[in-house]
Structures are given as structure tokens and as C-alpha cells.
Amino acid sequence: MSTDVAKTLERIEADKVKFVRLQFSDIQGLPKNVAIPAWQAEKALTEGISFDGSSIEGFARIEESDMVLKPDTSTYSLLPWRANECPVARFICDVYMPDGTPFEGDPRHILRKVLAEAKEMGYTFNTGPELEFFLFKLDEEGMPTIVPQDKGGYFDLAPTDLAEDVRSEIVLALTDMGFEIEASHHEVAESQHEIDFKYGDALKTADNVITFKYATKSIALQNGLNATFMAKPKFGINGSGMHVNASLFKDGENVFYDPEAPLQLSEVALHFIAGVLEHAKSITRVANPTINSYKRLVPGYEAPVYVSWSAQNRTALVRVPSPRGKSTRMELRSPDPTCNPYLTFAAILAAGMDGIKKQLVPPAGVNQNIFEMTEDERNRSHIDTLPGDLMTANRHLLEDTLICDTLGAHVIDGLNSIAQMEWDSFRTAVHPWEIEQYLTRF
């Protein structure tokens, strides 16, 4: 037994843990878990625990369904919102085939692979995702509604911001779980919130995104509310985004920063941004994976629609926020919190590295409000448009060899069939809008 395993077992004992949850995520980034009694932890940590992968979305076919979960000991954490019951701990796991090779459909493995490629070039990839979400009331039967819990607005204080207590509870729980919370505030729309945590290595922050959603949903429910990370729950008000701040470090230094360069942005930063813009349309399929995601990517709500970058304005797809030095970063504003963070970070990094390898140069930054430009003006500035729906985005992904190779055939096939299925079901459904428009008119 390694000292790492021995230390982890000691902690499990010291924390009086009764159950251990072994967590991983499916291709859509939805968390799955099996619980084992604490006495099984040693087996889990040394040999791994077998499970049937055939029932997991985008995982194995029936005939190759045996898979093994191996806990990543660095992800050990108690679940603080279950403190009143017997202590429960969780690990985030890597998924292996019975022969000991990593499972190629495990999103965490795919991100690990791209991070290793970056490491070969000397780079560490840091991400800082900003998750927005809504807190909605439950009805008498305890079912979720879209009735807002408050009427607060951006940065409002109580009493308009009724969610303050729930938000603090979430912040405290996440802090207990090792998050460094930088800020938490009411967002623009009523009942919409944002909690920001400190950026870090992309694997860790991808894990954090999963934990963040799990904790937020659990604590909201304990308070009689439903937390939703759906991209656009309501027409006419802001949707929820998950801006991804990203930078590359080498030997502990931020290589996006160059105090001598124009805008103090290094060549590497510009190549990276150019790569992300080059692959923006296919990244959209990954970063905006639901039918509903595309109802957020419309003009007028701070969400991006056009492929451009800017060091100033928030209508651009890629913004370079003003801080420099260690905080120099690009912010991709398209992703929403329904995305699988592992696959999204993998796609962004692969695109950025492609830009670096090919020394791509981004077009001139667009510093005016793009929504106020005419189509002609946009064409003259070569500003392309993001895909307007899931199927269009899916087509772009299938045509993008780099991103397809990065995610691998298994995941691409899975994403493709999910898109086809959802699109078909959406395409053939009769929506309230149609009833409203046609029922009496015809």
C-alpha cells in the first residue's frame, strides 16, 4: 500500500466516515456515483471498484460493460451539507477498462491527455469558470417551477436579495470543500446568482465545476429551492453563462503577459486567442450542448453571438479582461453551465495550442458594440457568426478534425447521437409558441 493510500485511509477513519461516494461523470458532464461502506475504501483505493458502464450515457456497449473506478485521492472531501447525518465522503474517480487501460470515453481522461500534451510544451493550463444559476421556488408538491425566489438585480443587497442566506450557505460549504471563493453576488436577472472561485489547474477546476453544481443543487433543495444551471430558463431575461477565463503558465509565470508588448499581451496569448477563434464554431457544440443553450446565444443579453475578440467590450466572444501580470487571461464568454467542463476545457486548450503551433494571428480586435453594427459592417470586418442551433454546431464539430481527434471517436460518436436524438425530439414536438401563433389564426 502506498503512503498516499495509507494517509487517505487514516483521514477516512479520523473523519468517522460511514459511506464513501465514488463519483465520475458521463459524457454530458452529469455526475454519477456509487456509494460504498467505509470498510470497502481500502479495496477501492488499491484495486478499484467494478461497475457496469452500459447504463451510463455515452459510455460502453453491453458487450464491453465492465469498467473500474479508481479514486483520485487528491479529490477526497467530506460532503458538508450532510453534516447532520453520518459523515459521507466522496472521491472523484478515473474510469478504467478491466485490462487496466484508461477508458477513452471518460471525460476526465480526455482532459488529462490534452493537459499532458501542453505539459510537453512546458505549459500548465489554468481555467477560471464563472458559473451563473437561478434559484426557483418549488410548488406544494415539491416539484421545481420557474417562479423566481426574489426580484433582486445585479449586486443587490437584502431584503431584495432573499437568496443571501442560501448563497452564504453554499459559499461556506464550498469553502469547507477546499474552494477559494473570490466573490458571490446577485446577477442581472431576478433570482439569478454567481459565485466565483479562484482559478487553478484545469483538471482541478473541471472537478470543481461538477462539485459546485452538486453542492449548489443540494443546498438549494435543503432550503426548499431548485437551483438550475439550464442556460436560458426564461425568455426575455438574461440566461446563465459559464465564462471560461483561461491562461497558460510556464515555470510558475503567466506566459500570456508581456509588459513590453502592445496591450501587454504576449505573442503566445495572441496565438492562443487566434486558435480559439479559429475553432470557435466547433467548440460551441461542446460548450453549449443543449437545444436550450442556443436561446441564450442571441443579441441583447451580454451573451456572445459573433466570433470576435476585444480587450474592452463584453459583446465579443473572447474578451481580455483588464488585469495583467499573473491575472492576464482570455475570457471565452460563450460556454454555459450545461457543458461538460472536462470536454470544454479540453477543446479550448486544443484549439489554443493549435494556434500556438501554427502561429496563428487573430484578426484586429473589435472594440465597438457588435450588436449595433449592421450586417454589412460586420462582413467588412470579417466577423463571423456562432452557430444558431445545436445541429449547426454539431456539423461544425464533425468537420473539425483537430477537435474530433482531441475528444476521440468514442466521445464524438456519443455527442453526435445525443444531438441527433435531442434535435429530433425537439423538432417534432409542438411548442406553446406554435399554439399561440397558429391555433386561432388558421
The reply to whether 338 sits near ligand ADP by the rule CB under 6 A is no
**What is the maximum span of the chain, computed from C-alpha positions, in angstroms?**
74
Asked about 314 being catalytic, the answer comes back as yes
Contact (Cβ atoms closer than 8 angstroms) between residue 335 and residue 246: no
Residue 26 interacts with Mg ion (CB under 5 A): yes or no? no
In the complex, least distance from residue 333 CB atom to ligand ADP, rounded to whole angstroms:
8
Name every residue whose Cβ is closer than 8 Å to that of residue 167 and which is 6 or more positions away in sequence. 184, 193, 195
Distance of CA 221 to the CA centre of its chain: 21
Q: Which is nearer to Mg ion, 25 or 228 (by Cβ)?
A: 228
- Show the cell assigned to 134: 437561478
Binding residues for L-glutamate: 238-239, 296, 302, 314, 333
Look up 380 and say whether it is catalytic: no
Cell numbers for 140: 406544494
Q: Does 70 bind ligand ADP (CB under 6 A)?
A: no
C-alpha span between 217 and 227 (Å, rounded):
5
Report the residue number, 224 or 325, with the smaller CB distance to ligand ADP. 325
Assess whether 441 carries a catalytic annotation. Answer: no
Is 427 catalytic? The answer is no
Q: Pick one of 8, 245, 308, 315: the residue that binds ligand ADP (CB under 6 A).
A: 245
Judged by CB under 5 A, the residue of 26, 106, 130, 164 near Mg ion is 130
| 358 binds ligand ADP per the rule CB under 6 A | no
Among residues 331, 336, 354, 400, which one is catalytic?
331
CA gyration radius, the chain: 22
Residue 321 contact among Mg ion, ligand ADP, none, beta carbon within 5 to 8 Å by kind: ligand ADP
Q: Decide if 194 is catalytic.
A: yes
Could you say whether residue 211 binds ligand ADP (CB under 6 A)?
Answer: no
Residue the block writes with cell 493549435? 354
* Among the residue ranges 32-40, 166-174, 190-198, 392-400, the one whose residues contact Mg ion (CB under 5 A): 190-198
Asked if residue 126 binds ligand ADP (CB under 6 A), the reply is: yes
Nearer to Mg ion, 301 or 423 (CB): 301
- Which of 7, 11, 16, 198 touches ligand ADP (CB under 6 A)? 198
CA angle, residues 339, 230, 163, in degrees to nearest 5: 120
Among 75, 192, 240, 254, binds ligand ADP (CB under 6 A): 254
Catalytic residue selected from 21, 285, 329, 333: 333
Cell of 83: 453534516
Q: 26, 94, 106, 130: which is the annotated catalytic residue?
A: 130
With 0-12 / 13-18 / 19 or more C-beta atoms within 10 angstroms meaning exposed / middle / buried, residue 237 is middle
When binding is defined by CB under 5 A, the residue of 243, 271, 285, 296 that contacts Mg ion is 243
Would you state the cell numbers that stand for residue 121, as one nine-digit string? 510544451
Tell me if 290 sits within 8 A of 231, measured CB to CB: yes
Instruction: Please give the single-letter amino acid code of residue 391.
Output: M
Which grid coordinates belong to 293? 443553450
Q: Helices 280-287 and 401-428: crossing angle, nearest 10°? A: 50
Three-class secondary structure of residue 306 per DSSP: strand
Residue 194 in contact with Mg ion, rule: CB under 5 A = yes
Residue 79's nearest CA partner among 241, 258, 214, 264 is 214
Residue nearer to ligand ADP on the CB measure, 27 or 268: 268
Instruction: For residue 201, give the DSSP letter.
Output: E
Q: Among 65, 184, 327, 368, which residue interacts with ligand ADP (rule: CB under 6 A)?
A: 327
Q: How close are the terminal C-alpha atoms of the chain, in Å?
A: 74
| Residue located via cell numbers 429551492 | 225
Binding of residue 396 to Mg ion (CB under 5 A): no
Query: Which one of 32, 167, 186, 329 is in contact with ligand ADP (CB under 6 A)?
Result: 329
Residue of 23, 191, 228, 247 interacting with ligand ADP (CB under 6 A) = 247
Tell me if residue 169 is catalytic: no
Contact 342, 399 (CB under 8 A): no
* Catalytic machinery residues: 52, 130, 132, 187, 194, 243, 314, 331, 333
Interacting residue ranges for ligand ADP, rule: CB under 6 A:
126-128, 130, 182, 196, 198-199, 243, 245-247, 254, 321, 326-327, 329, 331
